[in-house]
Chain A
């Protein structure tokens, strides 16, 4: 690559790829949210007979008639899908599969028919199918730009209505909006984008330029507006990467590089996106797990003290604690150290004990456990030997408000089903005065 001077072809490809990235990304958001991710795939295949018929009618490979032919066939395919779902008991996936394969099969029939015509110059129809970005002419790019602009402007004009269609079509209908017509409008826009993209990335990969940026954007936000902008940015960025890489490395096709770049963004989003990402989920799980361990340790100390007649300032031997849950010394230390740091636990040599604040929090956990056990035996009439396991889980999940409510509903009981006392939060006030 000579510096950053791009060749004429490469500039065309770059412009085309960015246009497609933006319009595909934006339309993809709607397709994704409406659970029609694969509609783009079906429509791209359905466009083939339209291209062939347009060619048969005009006898020339000028972009506009072929575009219109593809558009018409794609729209017809979309309407067939809508009709088949509405008028038969077929599901959307089957309707899409049928339109995809039958229209494409018909296209192949027409294609082989055309190849037998004595017209000549018919090779190259397939570039509309399998995507050869390098064959994009300035005129192609101009048509792409105009159509993309039309799509984006229409989306902006009908943004509120289409948003309603996507999230709550019934509500929209009750407001008197023409939901079916809006649905057809949205499908038409998708057909336009798909047809625009055919020549750049091809019939197989077009679905990824529509779905993947939207799927990646979805991981970062719950707001449609933000999602649209993100998807457009991801699509455009992948377009730039695809165009530049394929321009600078020999025999590297543009479409697949665009798709892989978008897929890389998707994988990164799935891992790192805040709140929804795998990484965050793992961290969150670990945090919860650690809290459960700490609460269990507090509870164990409380129970030991209870067995010793309530002497919770006495030291408890380390090996005894290890034995209670069969934990290794290291694992127990991992729970004990943060408790020490927070001043809930004191360690002296090979033994530990609760601080007053630690004792208060331990009592809180035990209280949740025992109230829940009581609730299960009283209200659900479970036998008392069946409730411990459930309470083991609930003691970490119940909020303070829920516990107070539970306490009130049970009539402020004194004892759990096993006859052990239920600690009261009054301990908080007495805790300071205890030795």
Chain B
């Protein structure tokens, strides 16, 4: 049980229960005592005071500049220059004495800096630095910041910044000042409690050491495997600029000592080329402490990164735009913190700043040097096979495959999948809508698969086209593509199984298929062999439908929309 004391210069009693709750929400049980109005100096300086008779674990000092510099705030025009100077000197002396006392009685001390009055009797003359109380607050804040640097157990809280972010008028309630000498509003009290609890938690916690980042739609816009290096969006104006802003924030975190690593499902060489050579990228290979790019599950990549860096996985946080990947990592590695990126990339920075696992209260020289050390060492431990339970994850997704024959409404998407898919593309045939239409008219079977699960609808993500061969009962697999968004979730097997079943109903007895190797489609090189197709010669396969079948994955439910 943490003994917490809050010493404000005005009434702040309602902060007590609110702070106690916020600390508890962060796993810190506490008893919070808030000293009453007018007791700030006496409680701290009188050796016989209630505060000094107990030893505190955490002391929060909230000397409000509205109180410390009251004459300059309330009567800026009538306050003389000399009075202004004395006010600041006196305020700094008061707070120095308070910090000195608190840092001796308490394990940790949080010191709030002073807030600025946005409106005073000066009205539009507020910009006059000789009259404005803001000038005094700047001077005062400068001087008390030194107190935080001098005492190892004193942490400076940027209270002024908090009030700015929340809005001065929302933060304050003049009625309560008149009624009870309390300056803050209910909302202000709650926002302050939450911020103080965040800082208190950060002083105790080991901060996150490494951010593991996805690539597609996380560091750049678009899907590299579909759009190519020239098609992804990073840099320039519009959405590309949002990703640059996000990368700049990541580099700031790196400068603060957070290592950056990549875990991406992509073609390794293509992805490295984009990182190293795309003109819009700020983040380059030399910023990265570890890289895992391939088709393995992300949990496996994260374990490998932890091993490479010599951390346990609880020192890592995972950043990915895909709710599926986040869910998979949450299930497989519950001790890895997961950042829920919002839908709009322009909001990514705010999400990162709200992510409390990254909170630190001070940056050490060692923090600044950490990246250089890790990268210089170049330690790349051998990856170990991890025992990730992929099937349990897939089962938990409650996946549904909606399979339908291509029709006029969907033929455009079928063509798009055929033309854009570079990775999971068996034959690398590029079909336009007209040629798909001609094939269907000639009796071909064309199927689309739509992927839905409890996390959402991924849309039409797979397309297969089988054409009639020259001999009765023989068919050929002309095209088989799967969007890289859903690779590794079993939809490839689902579509193949469904295709084979329907072909059998059409009187098909044997299906021949080819794998055409290209620069990027190695992900599906063994797909046919793994599903029971027999290799007649390299990359040419055959399935005898009278003897064999392709088993539908039992963790996907099929829905048929048309015969």
The answer on A and B forming one complex is no
- Measured CB to CB, the residues of B under 8 A from A are none
